[in-house]
Structure 1
Amino acid sequence: MCGIAGLFYPATPKPVDPARLRAMADAIAHRGPDGAGVWTVPGVGFAHRRLSIIDLEGSPQPMATADARLTIVFNGEIYNYRELREELQRRGHVFTTDGDTEVLLHGYAAWGAAMLQRLNGMFAFAIHDAATQTLFLARDRMGVKPLHYAELSDGAVAFGSELKALLAHPLLRRKPDVRAVEDYFAYGYVPDDACLVAGVSKLAAGHYMLIERGKGTVKQRQWWDISFANRARGSAAALGEELIERMRDGVRSRMVADVPLGAFLSGGVDSSAVVALMAEASRAAVKTCTIGFDEAGHDERAHAAQVAERFATDHHVRVVRPDDFGLIDTLVAAFDEPFADASALATYQVAALAREHVTVALSGDGADEAMAGYRRYRFQAAEERVRGMLPPDLRRQVFGTLGRVYPKADWAPRPLRAKTTLLALADDGAEAYARSVGVTTPALRRALFSDAARAALGGHRAEERYIAAMRDAPARDAIDRAQYADMKIWLPGDILTKSDRTSMAVGLEAREPLLDHRLVEFVATLPQAMRLRGGEGKWLMKRSLERYLPRDILYRPKMGFVTPVSAWFRGSLSGAAAGLARSRVLGDSGWFDMNEIARIAEAHRTGREEHGRTLWQFVMLERSLKRLFA
């Protein structure tokens, strides 16, 4: 795992200053504490920070072919590099190292962009071809590894693993994009097709770019997509066996490392499954890491201990405070852009614990998106059944009227909070789902934004990307479409960003075996009833894991990392919430109605309304703005 940065001049081969490249790489030194390298020729330069995982003494980067035609800088791991190396050797390629970086160089020489289809891994890399004067940038299928880029005023295209690498270049103009603020308040993160710094882009998951000197910047090209359009045939038993085998392959392929390796263990289904399959493949005890909370409703230590005992792991536990908001500034520095998924606090803490014992940790991330594990899929399926019972016009009239007159009762027990459901039933499925994954509602965003901000948005609405993704999804039914949109937007923008930034902040490599593309492609073909049945998400996965895990692990309610931000803003952070309305940073932006911020802070403090997540968004935004634009 590493950090990469670079500069390329598409118009004319201007000289590249190595000092600027070093500054860009030093800004992401946490991604690679084990080594550094810089390479320049007229018109292009690469920089690298290394976290040594495979071929510890070899494979320095940037790396070039023997004839110096191709040079690469690479972040990630290619899990099938040994098989590819053997295939390339049969074609006459000669290798001088034992790592996966050189395999990418020779693979590109042999197959060009078509090499990407052969790779099983997580990656973001850049290859310069001196013969064709081109720069090739690529990102893995799921978006596990990030890559940012921007065009600078001197004509250079700058790229880097994190935004802070670009910010280290003096020619990057720091101007905020209000459309990203709209997106952020809708979702709690800035999606991959947006950036808070205007002019900066993110290479999308499953995409590449080929920039040719003299021809300008080529648009991103998609090289991989997930399809839910086909259905596998077979009994539940047969498909379950295939599912386990693909999970097993995903885990075993990600256990290749020349450094200590372990796993995050929450005691939930996904991480427990990963640990079970690791134990099956390992002669030594698997190292597992768990964090706990001194709150019974949020603590999963007992479940994790049960799994650890079952598989005789080398188990490490740390109890942390769920209200450790002293980490806020650490997270702001790690993410650059505002990131309001409060579970990042706990994710950072378990990554820090793991780094004390291992350099690589496997996680269960991605299974909920791939196998329909979220509760929102169950709600979406139920709502779609109701929508199908009435003609659209009548449905909008009936449920829309009921939703408008039903009181908004955030304080009430869940059965009495029907307003959101009624309004969702009045909408079509895509619109309703787009709102269901959101944090701050469109109505509240409109109230919070100033007249100037609403004008600057020019009609831009965050939900439209979800609606478009669901409308255009290669899918058969509503749950397919919801999963597809989550895998294209939520997964890379929230889940994998959280995993990458928190793990890299402590110099840990996180791997996601349940996002092996062969596994994901197979699961997408399963009939809906094998993903979601009787209100049970991940149905076939859980059924197939009964040989490995006890039922009280498989079928207990999903908990996850819960951070009680709502309670904070009625207690220890109530003063900070009230202070948001007096924030000079937020006020000077001109984006917000500061009186409305004061109103929601007070309404939340008194319990009249629920705005904890929105207030958390303001806290993270304020601190990010200070770092990015002060």
Structure 2
Amino acid sequence: MLDRLTHRGPDGEGTQTIGNTWLGHRRLAIVDLEGGGQPLYEPDRRLWLIGDGEVYNHPRLRQQLENEGRVFRTESDHEIVLHVLDNEGVDGFTKLWGMYAFILAGADGRFIVGRDPLGITPLYWVRDDDTVLFASELKAFDPDRRNDVEPFPPGHAWIPGDGLVEFGGLPERRTGQVAQLLTGAEDQEEPPEEVLTAIRDTLYTAVARSMRADVPVGALLSGGLDSSLVCAIGAKVASEQGWTLPTFAVGLEGSDDLEAARRVAEAVGTEHHERVYTEDELIDWVPEVIGVIESFDPQLVHSSVPNLLVSRYAARYVKVVLIGEGADELFAGYEHYGDISSHEELHDELVETMRGLHNLGLQRVDRVASSNAVESRIPFLDFDVVELGLGLPAHWKLTNGDRPEKWLLRKAFEGWLPHDLLWRPKQQFGQGSGAREVLRDHYEATISEKEFQRDRTAVEPPLRTREELAYYRSFQQHLTGLEPEGVVGRFAEA
């Protein structure tokens, strides 16, 4: 299983047996490059921990633990988790701010598994009588086990004997500062300036927090609103620290995304890099991309091919990349949200979409980055941003004749980008980069209508297009033995 995940961690490997538990870890070194190898352990070696992801509030937690007399062997943010879980058990997960999946095992028989509330970091498991297996990707499991694989639920922990325990979820109710901010403003047609300021300040802090690393940091820039705002903030943070943020873009020659990305990079002052690909390259990469992302959903494939190419290109220069994922789900950026006129319905739809992110958009983000030995950071899914975004009145996010999608986010950042780019209509990454039409036309043509009608019911719900059937056949070759229902997420439309 560990050998099948070598791509996720080219910087080292570690294993440890503790009683009836075996831990294995592949390392992508981001924090404490020299001393952060895993499994991590306490000085007396009674507790061991492996993990994936980043804990952004680790400096504060470390200070608290040191004040309590805890001794640390490394500067790793993950070693903090070992001590927090030792102190508080499952309740310790509520103190962690970031994206993560952790497993702790002790010589005294303790065993705890937990995954972050949004499911940003992947985790799967198989329960088979007295044997339980965990891994970061579907392909790690043996083919004869794959039909029993389930996604480990976000915001949950598991302890043998106690079962699943929910410790965190989406912050759907307004609390604390968000509730105070909106007092008296909720029913206003226009958001007051203090709300716009809060959006700017919260995202700015999230971007700055996402840029903490002991390795070079860059940003993927599609030229769309979300990545452009992240890059504009990131460029300012980098400038204040005395360096220049590198940005990376890909697309077909003459594509809208490439042109927009060039203009954004020039406007905000980044060190810009771009790669122009051909239609044949897009087509040829699809089989490998399907194996990487572990999905056959057409929308994911369309965006994943250019995403893989830009991540592979960025990996030559940096080891951490900022991306704009999450803004559409918080600020109602998808086209179908425009059909909703009720603010209650829109809020419910946004919450439901956020709950499904872990095995759709976030699956693409994780797999593509990990296959290229880079780590994605997602400022829009910083918990402060999520709490504010979901707490804002949904009627400020409704699309109408005067307000385009993500009007609230655009309004908050007026002056940060050239006006026409700030208000540029949304295009999906696969569309703006030129990938969608090329891939759809080619792979539709590889499947006859007769084949489609015969084989479309191979999965439930049935395959929706000839293109999706072509992708599903490739998926079967990469993940032999896996029944996708309940494991592989699919968008409502192909």
Note whether the superposition's TM-score is higher than 0.5: yes
Q: Report the counterpart of residue 91 of structure 2 in structure 1.
A: 114
CA shift in 2, pair 1:90/1:227, >3 Å: same
- For residues 45 and 366 of structure 2, the distance between their equivalents in structure 1, rounded to whole angstroms, comes to 32
Q: Quick check: 2:296–2:475 contact (8 Å CA) kept in 1?
A: yes
CA shift in 2, pair 1:627/1:266, >3 Å: closer
Q: Report the counterpart of residue 376 of structure 2 in structure 1.
A: 510
Confirm whether residue 79 of structure 1 aligns to residue 38 of structure 2: no
* C-alpha deviation, 1:70, in angstroms: 1.7
Confirm whether residue 483 of structure 1 aligns to residue 343 of structure 2: no
* C-alpha deviation, 1:349, in angstroms: 1.1
1:334 alignment partner AA: V
Aligned counterpart in structure 2 of residue 267 of structure 1, from 211, 220, 223: 223
SS state at 1:536 partner: coil
* C-alpha deviation, 1:219, in angstroms: 3.1
- Structure 1 residues 575-599: Cα deviation after superposition (integer angstroms, max 9, x where no partner): 512298299xx86x98389xx99xx
2:120 alignment partner AA: V
* C-alpha deviation, 1:573, in angstroms: 4.1
Q: Report the counterpart of residue 412 of structure 2 in structure 1.
A: 544
- For residues 573 and 372 of structure 1, the distance between their equivalents in structure 2, rounded to whole angstroms, comes to 30
- For residues 220 and 166 of structure 1, the distance between their equivalents in structure 2, rounded to whole angstroms, comes to 24
1:512 alignment partner AA: I
Aligned counterpart in structure 1 of residue 205 of structure 2, from 238, 249, 256: 249
* C-alpha deviation, 1:505, in angstroms: 0.8
Confirm whether residue 156 of structure 1 aligns to residue 131 of structure 2: yes
Q: Report the counterpart of residue 577 of structure 1 in structure 2.
A: 447
Confirm whether residue 285 of structure 1 aligns to residue 152 of structure 2: no
SS state at 1:136 partner: strand
Give the structure with higher Rg (CA): 1
Which residues of 2 match residues 422-433 of structure 1 at below 5 A? Answer: none
1:77 alignment partner AA: E
Which residues of 2 match residues 511-526 of structure 1 at below 5 A? Answer: 511-526=377-392
1:284 alignment partner AA: W
- Structure 1 residues 510-561: Cα deviation after superposition (integer angstroms, max 9, x where no partner): 1101110111101111112322353423222211111311221111111132
- For residues 459 and 99 of structure 2, the distance between their equivalents in structure 1, rounded to whole angstroms, comes to 39
TM-score (norm 2): 0.87
- For residues 223 and 320 of structure 2, the distance between their equivalents in structure 1, rounded to whole angstroms, comes to 19
Aligned counterpart in structure 2 of residue 532 of structure 1, from 398, 402, 405: 398
SS state at 2:448 partner: helix
- For residues 228 and 479 of structure 1, the distance between their equivalents in structure 2, rounded to whole angstroms, comes to 15
CA shift in 2, pair 1:569/1:537, >3 Å: closer
Q: Report the counterpart of residue 487 of structure 2 in structure 1.
A: none
* C-alpha deviation, 1:492, in angstroms: 1.4
For structure 1, which segment, 139-148 or 60-69, has the greater mean C-alpha deviation from structure 2 after superposition?
60-69
* C-alpha deviation, 1:380, in angstroms: 1.9
Q: Quick check: 1:580–1:619 contact (8 Å CA) kept in 2?
A: no
- Structure 1 residues 57-84: Cα deviation after superposition (integer angstroms, max 9, x where no partner): 0011011112223210000111111111
Aligned-pair identity (%): 30
Q: Report the counterpart of residue 492 of structure 1 in structure 2.
A: 358
Q: Report the counterpart of residue 93 of structure 1 in structure 2.
A: 70
1:287 alignment partner AA: P
Q: How many equivalent pairs are there?
A: 458
Unaligned runs of 5+ in 2: 186-190, 482-494
- For residues 496 and 242 of structure 1, the distance between their equivalents in structure 2, rounded to whole angstroms, comes to 26
Confirm whether residue 626 of structure 1 aligns to residue 477 of structure 2: yes
- Structure 1 residues 147-191: Cα deviation after superposition (integer angstroms, max 9, x where no partner): 0110246x3111001112222xxxx635xxxxxxxxxxxxxxxxx
Q: Quick check: 1:236–1:530 contact (8 Å CA) kept in 2?
A: no
- For residues 580 and 157 of structure 1, the distance between their equivalents in structure 2, rounded to whole angstroms, comes to 42
Aligned counterpart in structure 1 of residue 289 of structure 2, from 307, 312, 331: 331
- For residues 382 and 61 of structure 2, the distance between their equivalents in structure 1, rounded to whole angstroms, comes to 17
For structure 1, which segment, 276-285 or 334-343, has the greater mean C-alpha deviation from structure 2 after superposition?
334-343
Confirm whether residue 303 of structure 1 aligns to residue 260 of structure 2: yes
Confirm whether residue 138 of structure 1 aligns to residue 85 of structure 2: no
TM-score (norm 1): 0.69
SS state at 1:262 partner: strand
CA shift in 2, pair 1:61/1:480, >3 Å: same
- For residues 590 and 300 of structure 1, the distance between their equivalents in structure 2, rounded to whole angstroms, comes to 36
SS state at 2:340 partner: helix
Q: Quick check: 2:369–2:375 contact (8 Å CA) kept in 1?
A: yes
